[in-house]
Structure 1
Amino acid sequence: MTTLENDQLKVSIRPKGAELTSIVHKPTNTEHLWQADPSVWGWHAPNLFPVVGGCLNNQLHIGGKGYPMERHGFARQSTFMQVESTASHAVFSLSSDSTTEAVYPYRFQFQIIYELNESTLQVTYRIQNEDEQTMYFSVGAHPAFRVPFNEEEAYEDYYIEFDKEEELKTHVLSSAGLFTGQTRPVELEAEDTRLPLTKHLFDQDALVFKSLQSRQVSLKSWRHSKAITLDFTAFPYLGIWAKPGASFVCIEPWLGCADSEDQAVPIQEKEAIQQVGAGQVFNASFSIRITEEILL
């Protein structure tokens, strides 16, 4: 386990999946990350690569051949090597090998860089294409934040606030986690910026937004001024999800998304697919900022 720490934050990262396992705001000693209760949902903040969401028939089609691919890809199950570390900075790396090439036939290095700066944690995905062909991929984050922040509060005290007014519609997922082609509206409150959390908000699976105006969202309570803000400027898609009835909410910046349930397409035609040329490097970052008022 790797720990990064400054005056404001203390975060922990495990080698499996280079996954965040803890984000503690030190001035109030508050743990903000879901602690992966295996009876509910046994993850903290998985990193998604080389796909986001599910593939039709669990197959990824590359170069005319189908490869087995589990939902959200193999990175979250893989062991990363820590290649750099300071008190506030760490780099984890996953390199292609015979195991990854059996399901994803590219040579690559996938790095996840964690950097603390005051009350902000920045996460950078760095994909280096070590192949001689263009590499196609998706990448995304899946952090689960504890709700409520304090024991005396309720889940329904919380809401997600968008930084711009929105007319939200979610893209409906099937029971297999694939897009059906349908959408449905999602109602907001308070000048079309606030999405109240309820225990039944995710009864029909994740809310998936593909055309947001907002580039930041904040997890807030009606009862105090504490907040968690995600800046996902580099990520055009956003998922919001929780296991129905569970005490967390996932706020998920994505570069990529699940397949549709109608027909399989080659990887280069997948919706929101990313690419990086031979010998080139791709970078994308998002940040998590914790702000909490301290009562004296």
Structure 2
Amino acid sequence: MYSLENNILKIDIKKTGAELCGITGLKHNTTFMWHADPAVWGSYAPNLFPIIGALKENTYIFEGHKYELPKHGFIRHNKNITVLDQTKNSITFKLESSTDLLKIYPFKFEFLITYTLTDNTIEVKHSVKNLDDKTMYFSLGGHPAFKCPVYNNENYEDYTLEFEHPENSKTHLINMENGLITSNTEQVLFNSNNIKLNRNIFKKDALIFKDLKSKTVTLKSANHGPILTVSYHDFDYLGLWAKPSGDYVCIEPWLGIADNEDTNQKLTEKEGIISLAKNKSYQATYSIEIHNSHLV
């Protein structure tokens, strides 16, 4: 376990998966992250790479060959991640391609993720470098789960997710048997900037948005005001999710998306896939701001 701390906030990161696993306000010992109860959902904030969500038949095709990858890729739960650098307010984790990884993902790469703690904000920066002699293809994203409700004597229904702008947006429905994106949609936001949380909102799995104008979303308590804000200016998709019985909500910035049901499984044609030329690097950052009223 690694930690970063200043005079108001402490964050904890697991070496396995380079997974953020704790955000704590020091003055009142307030916790803002889900506690990863394995009876409900045993993760905190998985890092997603080189795919988001599920592949059709867990398989993709590249240059005529079939490869298998687990849901959300191979960063989460990965024990081979190393610490590249640590300073007083930041820590960088690294994973490089290996003989074993090349069997399931045929690209030589370097994946870095850096957590930086500045005042009341956690910055999560991803950097991917193509070390191969061919173009590589990937997606990446975050899956942080935030405690909800945060305070005692509150209910899940006391919370809303508030967007930066009013939105008219649909969720793209998931086939819950295989995790693939269907052609069906449901309207979620009707010229509105907020979603009121309740225990049934994720009964059809995640809410998946492809067309939001907003690049920030705030978890807000009816009793205590704004709790935290996730900013995701570098990300094109947003997922919102929780297990119906879980006291948390995931706010997930994505570059990429799960396979569609009608996919041809070709990696180069996958929706949302990023192509990166040889010797080039790609960076994407999102941030989590804890509102100061909960830290003083």
Q: TM-score, normalised by structure 1?
A: 0.97
Quick one: which of 168, 183, 186 aligns to 1:184?
A: 186
Alpha-carbon distance in structure 2 between the residues aligned to 1:199 and 1:88: 37
Alpha-carbon distance in structure 1 between the residues aligned to 2:90 and 2:180: 36
What is the CA distance between 1:9 and its match in structure 2?
A: 1.4
Whether 1:85 aligns to 2:82 is: no
The letter of the residue matching 2:126 is Y
Alpha-carbon distance in structure 1 between the residues aligned to 2:209 and 2:185: 10
Mapping of 1:146-225 within 5 angstroms? 146-175=147-176, 176-187=178-189, 192-225=192-225
Q: Any stretches of 5+ residues in structure 2 without a counterpart? A: none
How many aligned positions are there?
294
Which structure: greater strand fraction?
Answer: 2
Alpha-carbon distance in structure 2 between the residues aligned to 1:295 and 1:11: 13
Alpha-carbon distance in structure 2 between the residues aligned to 1:281 and 1:255: 15
Q: Deviations over 1:80-115 (max 9, x none)?
A: 100101121000000100111010000001000000
SS in 1 for 2:225: coil
Q: Is the 8 A contact 1:218 1:227 kept in 2?
A: yes
Q: Is the 8 A contact 1:237 1:254 kept in 2?
A: yes
SS in 1 for 2:166: coil
Whether 1:239 aligns to 2:229 is: no
Counterpart of 1:15?
Answer: 15
Mapping of 1:207-286 within 5 angstroms? 207-286=207-286
Runs of 4+ in 1 over 3 A off after TM superposition: none
Q: What is the root-mean-square deviation of aligned Cα atoms in Å?
A: 1.3
Alpha-carbon distance in structure 1 between the residues aligned to 2:78 and 2:125: 18
Q: Is the 8 A contact 1:225 1:292 kept in 2?
A: no
Whether 1:59 aligns to 2:63 is: no
SS in 2 for 1:193: strand
Q: TM-score, normalised by structure 2?
A: 0.97
Q: Deviations over 1:100-155 (max 9, x none)?
A: 10100000010000001110000001001100001100000000000001111111
SS in 2 for 1:50: coil
Alpha-carbon distance in structure 1 between the residues aligned to 2:153 and 2:281: 47
What is the CA distance between 1:7 and its match in structure 2?
A: 1.6
Aligned residues with identical type, % of pairs: 41
The letter of the residue matching 1:266 is K
